Amino acid sequence: MTMAATRVVLDQWCGTRHRSPMYNKLIDYMQKGSPPTHMNPRPIRDGNRWLHELMRHPEVDFRLAAVRILETRKLLADTEFNWEVMDENAKEGIRAETVELNKAYLTRLCDDDDVNDDDDGGEKRDACEHVEYERDDDDDARERKE
């Protein structure tokens, strides 16, 4: 959300009649850094941390930009962002990935199940014998019970 709010604010600063001097300053801050950051770039990775650093910048313009981005972020979350759509998209993506992974696994199992092993007299191999998994304490406990 911080990145989206920052883009909105940058777009507002890049008006049709004139460009705010803060536009270039903020772009340079993110891409090249500034003297207070020892010329280290400050891309947005953790939005809250990035805003916290921006609010502590020695230049007032950067601190005001941080406040403007905060307010824009809140407005976006309250009005524009659709949590239901995000939730449904995430669930649909997980369902599709699950189907694809299961399909690939079962296809591999079926392909292996159809292979005959000449060393055991033509008997079919166990379809899961090639599947490796890590043993855990539950496996050891089950074997002791048997």
Q: Give the DSSP letter of residue 139.
A: H
- Burial, 121: exposed, middle or buried (Cβ in 10 Å; 0-12, 13-18, 19+)? exposed
Q: Are 68 and 23 in contact (CB under 8 A)?
A: no
Global pTM value: 0.52
What does each of the 146 residues of the chain score in pLDDT, given as a tens digit?
Answer: 888 888 888 888 887 777 888 888 888 888 886 666 566 777 777 888 888 888 888 889 989 999 999 999 898 888 877 778 878 888 998 999 999 998 888 888 887 765 545 455 555 555 555 545 555 555 555 555 55
**The predicted structure's pLDDT at residue 94:** 92
3-class secondary-structure state, position 124: strand
- From 66, 56, 58, select the one nearest 26 (Cα to Cα): 66
**The predicted structure's pLDDT at residue 67:** 92
